[in-house]
Each structure stands twice: as C-alpha cells, then as structure tokens.
Amino acid sequence: MEKVIDLNVLRAENITKIYNKRKAVDGVTIEVFEGEVVGLLGPNGAGKTTTFYCIVGLIKPDGGRVLLGEEDVTDDPTYIRARKGISYLPQEPSIFRKLTVEENIKAILEMHGLPEREIKERTDWLLERFGISHLR
C-alpha cells in the first residue's frame, strides 16, 4: 500500500538536543495534524520545552528534522516557520517580556502591515478565540 502524505501535518522526526554532553531530548518523534492542539506532559527536565523550541525554530536540534508536509523546515528561522503556520503559545506570560498579551499579538500583526482597525479587530478575535481575553 502506498503511503499517503498529509501536506498539513507537522512532523518532528528523531529530534535530539544535547547540552554539555547531556541529552536533553533523545530521539523524539511527534506528528501534529491541522486543527490539533498539542501539549507535552512530563516532569521538569524531561525535554518538553526544548522539544517545542526545536519544532518552532527557537533552537536548532543537534539531530533529527522538522517537516511541514513534505517540506523540511529544520533550518528555517522562527519567523519563516510562523509564516508557514508553525507557532505555539509559551508558558511565559509574554513573548516580548515587557509587553502584555494584547501588545504581543498587535506587534506580530503590525509586521504584516495591516491597517490599525484590522489589527484591533484581529487582536480582539484572537484573544476571544483562545479564551485569553482576561489576560489583555
């Protein structure tokens, strides 16, 4: 039987990350399909955050690769991956630490050159959609 490739799947294959001769992530493989929301569970130090950072491009894995459909995005920087739809909601309260949640969303939308009214509408929609309006 022929293997069917879903072009809307994000796949991290055999991701490895080593810090000071210690494997923080050891051969993790995960698939995420369009529309899924994923969380990794495990004790502190298990490599959950490091795995996510490798997938979204904040750090480069020492081994393995990240695929979006058939496209290898392992070497793509974070902003390129974000344009392709690879993003995440970090546990920290803000990506840009001195900004609020709302200001962070607006900062990202402003990079697309949208009119101020549309930025406000999209920001409000996103805050509502993710159920985080209370974090403005």
Burial of 81 (0-12, 13-18, 19+ CB in 10 A): buried
The pLDDT tens digits for 39-69 are 888 888 899 989 988 998 889 999 999 999 9
The residue type found at 105 is I
**Which domains does the chain possess?**
9-83 (3.40.50.300), 101-135 (no CATH)
The percentage of the chain sitting over the pLDDT mark of 90, rounded to a whole number, equals 40
The percentage of the chain sitting over the pLDDT mark of 70, rounded to a whole number, equals 88
CA distances in angstroms from 41 to 45, 47, 49, 51, 61, listed in the order given: 11, 10, 10, 12, 20
* The overall pTM is greater than 0.95: no
